[in-house]
Structure 1
């Protein structure tokens, strides 16, 4: 049986072990005639140091049992690391919304740590996830 998708959304998610392949990025910059990649590399590495990871663009899929985050093709081309995350809803202990620039951040806390993703409509997504954790059956009967 195929699991029902409750919600799907474009997001950026924070990945602690994300590594940018600067050789590939440099090649892309050369083809596009965008300049030198060193300036971008310095900013990204400083950001990673300050925030504990890099934001990876992709998609969030909320199913009946899990939140799945997966990187888009462009990020898969230029980055390495954990580009797919599957977090069973049963592991989520707390759902919160944090401030952010332009978009808010959904934070899912577990006993092992937290998963963060940012998107438009973050408050609504956080509320939906929280409802599913508290009473998954009520969401599925809609």
Structure 2
């Protein structure tokens, strides 16, 4: 089955196992002529401890079959870990909109856990994903109850 792209947006998504290559960041800072790698490391490590991961910049692609989250080139240069995520729509049990600073957060609840991403227009993304998963949930309930 070919997947049809329904929506694509620039996002930040929360990744638990991301590791920052501070040496690579230092090279970037040296080339730019500014920045303090030690200060950045302290902030990012503190954030990772409190929130259970780091926000990774990239792109969300919603197809008729799945939600894809892919890191952008800049993040790939300085980070290692899970930089590409695919969540089949059949695994999404619930999608909710959560508060956030400047942008709202989309939360996808699955049997394997929750996945968070933030973007402009998050309310519309939640509504679209809800619409796409609703028929799957309704069909499953009808089959079980029959």
Whether TM-score is above 0.5 comes out as yes
Aligned to 2:5: 5
Aligned to 2:59: 59
- Counting matched residue pairs gives 136
Aligned to 1:140: none
Shift in Å at residue 35 of structure 1?
Answer: 3.0
Aligned to 1:44: 44
Q: 2:62 and 2:15 mapped to 1: Cα distance? A: 18
Unaligned runs of 5+ in 1: 137-142
Aligned to 1:121: 121
Provide TM-score, normalisation by structure 2. 0.91
Q: Is residue 2:31 matched to residue 1:17? A: no
Q: Is residue 2:92 matched to residue 1:92? A: yes
Provide TM-score, normalisation by structure 1. 0.93
Q: 1:2 and 1:94 mapped to 2: Cα distance? A: 24
Q: 1:36 and 1:94 mapped to 2: Cα distance? A: 41
Q: Is residue 2:81 matched to residue 1:78? A: no
Bigger-Rg structure (1/2) = 2
Q: Aligned-pair RMSD on alpha carbons?
A: 1.0
Shift in Å at residue 116 of structure 1?
Answer: 0.4
Aligned to 2:143: none
Unaligned runs of 5+ in 2: 137-146
Shift in Å at residue 34 of structure 1?
Answer: 0.9
**1:59-101 C-alpha deviation (Å, 9 max, x unpaired):** 0000001000000000000000000000000000111011000
Shift in Å at residue 55 of structure 1?
Answer: 0.2
Q: Is residue 2:128 matched to residue 1:131? A: no
Q: 1:131 and 1:28 mapped to 2: Cα distance? A: 43
3-state SS of the aligned residue for 1:135? helix
Q: 1:102 and 1:96 mapped to 2: Cα distance? A: 17
